[in-house]
Structure 1
Amino acid sequence: MADQSKLSHVISGVDTHKDLHVAAIVDHQDRVLGTESFATTRQGYRLMLAWMRTFGDVQRVGIECSGSYGAGLLRYLQNAGIEVLEVTGPDKHDRRRRGKNDDFDAESAAHAAFAKRQTVTPRSRDGMVESLRVLRACRKSAVQARRVALQMIQMSIVCAPDKLREPLRNMTRMQLIRTLAAWRPDLTAYREVEEAYRISLKSLARRYLELHDEVADLDDMIGAIVKDLAPELLEQTAIGLNSAAQLLLTAGDNPERLRSEASFAALCGVSPVPASSGKTVRHQLNRGGDRAANSAIHIIAIGRLRLDPRTQTYVAKRIAAGNSKLEAIRSLKRYIAREVFGIIMRRQKQINQAQIAA
């Protein structure tokens, strides 16, 4: 059946899951040729690509969730030299009409890849930016766990017997943590309320200190990667380590997939969107895009508004021209996105040239 339908070019779509991927193939006229399921292993990826090629030369593949369940398949196909598009979402009208199952979702992904609609070029996940993403995710969970440990310490002290609570009342946070971590409770007397509190508080304090050291170690690693990727970014006014790391994550290991600085601004949610009505002509900030990147740029804008005389002059000029302060900050965020994109692209060009020379 595959040999009879063999064509010069075919396009595939993949609906990804944890243990099983479902692939569909369409021809040069967007007709479905077949669907098949494959395991989410390297052997499964190899069999999937071999199955696709039985229908013809694979021109491109559309993958749903290429940043999570489809990350392994994305790397495999990119290493095989296949063009990969990330399908951002199924067609809602088609889903309402046909219903939903994995075959339908794979076919929708293939149709989207064929027409290049609801698709974007995915971020590659094989460079230092991916390492940065993994380390930042780990750091975020450690910070959250540290916060929970501190909250439990504070709540336990509120409920603790007076004999324990009174000496701890006026201590600073780190004095309190180190004092509790140095306690030596009687572990055999855990049935007594006072000793149970001592054991619990000591355990929480030691957990806090361990997480504190873990966050510091991760910060050192993250800082080293950011300095390798874009040292010039950290030299700019009000751009700190966390903001720089987030903007590098948003750009990805392959920022060249972004056609222009305008597309980067849209990705960060700082591109102007028309909000005119009647005789009023105005713009507002884009409410879409990567909200973490938007938050990073907002922090940079507020920092520059406080520290940078040029920024203060620019905002004052916009306000004098009739803009509100929020509209002036919107324009400022757009300029920051342009500046950041230029720095990232120049550094990416340097990295690519160094790799070619090596």
Structure 2
Amino acid sequence: MSRHSPAVSDRTGNLRFPGSKEMNAMPSLAEVVDVVIGVDTHKHTHTAAVVDASTGGLLAELTAPTDPGGYQQLLDLARQHGARAWALEGAGGYGAGLARHLVAAGEQVIELDRPARAPRRHGAKSDSLDAARAAREALGRSHLAQVKSDGPRAQLAALMAARRSAVEAATLAQRQLHALVIAAPETLRAMFRGQSTTAMTTTATRLRTRASWDAHTVTTATVLRALARRTTALQREARDHEHAMATIVRAWRPDLLEQPGIGTIVAAQVLICWSHPGRIRSEAAFAMLAGTAPIPASSGLRTRHRLNRSGDRQLNRALHVVALSRTRYDERTSDYVERRRAQGKTDREIRRCLKRYIARDLFRQLEHGALPA
């Protein structure tokens, strides 16, 4: 029997231990588990390495297929040891199936969101070495986020990916339609002259070939109609996905939709990146994730900050949309923009400041509920 008390998960999804009141007061992972099982996840196989929590030594390893039978093999290996935690990189990708299996079995699963890439000794690399590195990195981290079971975040992520794909494909089809109209025979060009892209799509959807047209005109009309119908179908698909996301957001966090400049798509993207309370350790970490944390770019007596191009660019884009919307339609934001302009700030610098403030307010609301008006 293990000499350690088992770790438990608090409502925030962080690993908490008996006697600890807050994250900063928590003992290290090595003090509460006997082993950490690191897993190097791949499409067809997963490799697990059991590492002693006290010494960091490798105790056992196993490679298993990525199916329920393989997941159970890994779990059986882990159960041969005492108090344990799992460390998975890619828990939302190749490791998603294993993570679900482990969570359902009551295991403690740590999500390694961005593991450090330390130089390998003599360039050595293998699945078992990577799995052991994952376990040792979990032992060295001060903040541990537990993998959550599937829920509204997973649904939003799937819908967002499908909607984004549909929007991109619809945009491409519209561009192809527009380019084809420009090069079309005059008989067809005359039908579209002076129309917007949206109107062109409607006109092309209703195109009918005529017996008097030559083969080139008939073929062009047929392709235009196909592109228009493809565009319409993809736009309808994107709307359906957005409606489904709206239903989930309203049921999960309707308070986000009450904030100025935040609609369904922005709220969904923010929730996908945030996931659950405690996953992101602080407001500053959320700002860094969003790519809104300022990067010093000072020189001499001039103090400046430059654009942060790292982080989750989809989340950054969502905050950008909020900043633009509030600049136009929110009186307090408009007043702030004018004050900063009077101080000599450029619009780009002001927008960076706005996005940083928006990230701060959103994180506080996500972690603690709706902010007072």
**What TM-score comes out, normalization by structure 2 length?**
0.80
Question: Does the 8 Å CA contact 1:90/1:105 hold for their aligned counterparts?
Answer: no
Q: How far does the alpha carbon of each residue in 1:4-60 deviate from its partner, in whole angstroms, 9 at most, with x for none?
A: xxxx711111111111001111112100112210111122111101112213332x1
Counterpart of 1:311 (choices 333, 343, 356) is 333
Q: Do structure 1's residue 115 and structure 2's residue 162 form an aligned pair?
A: no
270-279 or 75-84, which moves further after superposition? 270-279
2:44 maps to 19
Identity, in percent, stands at 38
Q: Do structure 1's residue 37 and structure 2's residue 57 form an aligned pair?
A: no
Alignment CA distance shift 1:203-1:345 (3 Å): same
Q: How far does the alpha carbon of each residue in 1:281-336 deviate from its partner, in whole angstroms, 9 at most, with x for none?
A: 55455443222212211221232222223223334444555655544443332221
Give SS of 1:256's match. Answer: coil
2:193 maps to 169
Counterpart of 1:135 (choices 149, 159, 169) is 159
Alignment CA distance shift 1:320-1:153 (3 Å): closer
Shift of residue 123 of structure 1? 5.7
Q: Do structure 1's residue 178 and structure 2's residue 202 form an aligned pair?
A: yes
Return the letter of the residue paired with 1:101.
S
Give SS of 2:46's match. Answer: strand
2:274 maps to 251
Shift of residue 127 of structure 1? 1.1
RMSD: 3.0
Shift of residue 92 of structure 1? 4.0
In structure 2, the gaps of 5 or more residues are 1-32
Return the letter of the residue paired with 1:54.
Q
Q: Do structure 1's residue 76 and structure 2's residue 101 form an aligned pair?
A: yes
Return the letter of the residue paired with 2:58.
V
**What TM-score comes out, normalization by structure 1 length?**
0.83
Question: Does the 8 Å CA contact 2:86/2:110 hold for their aligned counterparts?
Answer: yes
Shift of residue 191 of structure 1? 10
Question: Does the 8 Å CA contact 1:178/1:205 hold for their aligned counterparts?
Answer: yes
Question: Does the 8 Å CA contact 2:108/2:146 hold for their aligned counterparts?
Answer: no
Alignment CA distance shift 1:166-1:332 (3 Å): closer
262-271 or 36-45, which moves further after superposition? 262-271
Give SS of 1:183's match. Answer: coil
25-34 or 161-170, which moves further after superposition? 161-170
Question: Does the 8 Å CA contact 1:265/1:338 hold for their aligned counterparts?
Answer: yes
Question: Does the 8 Å CA contact 1:190/1:196 hold for their aligned counterparts?
Answer: no
Shift of residue 278 of structure 1? 4.7
Question: Does the 8 Å CA contact 1:71/1:125 hold for their aligned counterparts?
Answer: no
Q: Matches of residues 222-233 of structure 1 in structure 2 within 5 Å?
A: 222-233=245-256
145-154 or 78-87, which moves further after superposition? 78-87
Give SS of 1:38's match. Answer: strand
Distance in structure 1 (CA, Å) of the matches to 2:320 and 2:198: 31
Give SS of 1:143's match. Answer: helix
Q: Do structure 1's residue 65 and structure 2's residue 87 form an aligned pair?
A: no
Distance in structure 1 (CA, Å) of the matches to 2:69 and 2:83: 20
Q: Matches of residues 1-358 of structure 1 in structure 2 within 5 Å?
A: 9-27=34-52, 28-58=54-84, 60-88=85-113, 92-95=117-120, 97-116=122-141, 121=145, 124=148, 126-185=150-209, 192-252=215-275, 254-284=276-306, 286-320=308-342, 325-347=347-369
Return the letter of the residue paired with 2:292.
V
Alignment CA distance shift 1:162-1:275 (3 Å): closer
Give SS of 2:125's match. Answer: coil
Alignment CA distance shift 1:174-1:324 (3 Å): closer
Return the letter of the residue paired with 1:226.
V
Distance in structure 2 (CA, Å) of the matches to 1:273 and 1:204: 45
Alignment CA distance shift 1:127-1:238 (3 Å): same
Q: How far does the alpha carbon of each residue in 1:161-185 deviate from its partner, in whole angstroms, 9 at most, with x for none?
A: 2222222223333433233222344
Distance in structure 2 (CA, Å) of the matches to 1:17 and 1:322: 52
In structure 1, the gaps of 5 or more residues are 1-7, 349-358
Question: Does the 8 Å CA contact 1:88/1:120 hold for their aligned counterparts?
Answer: no
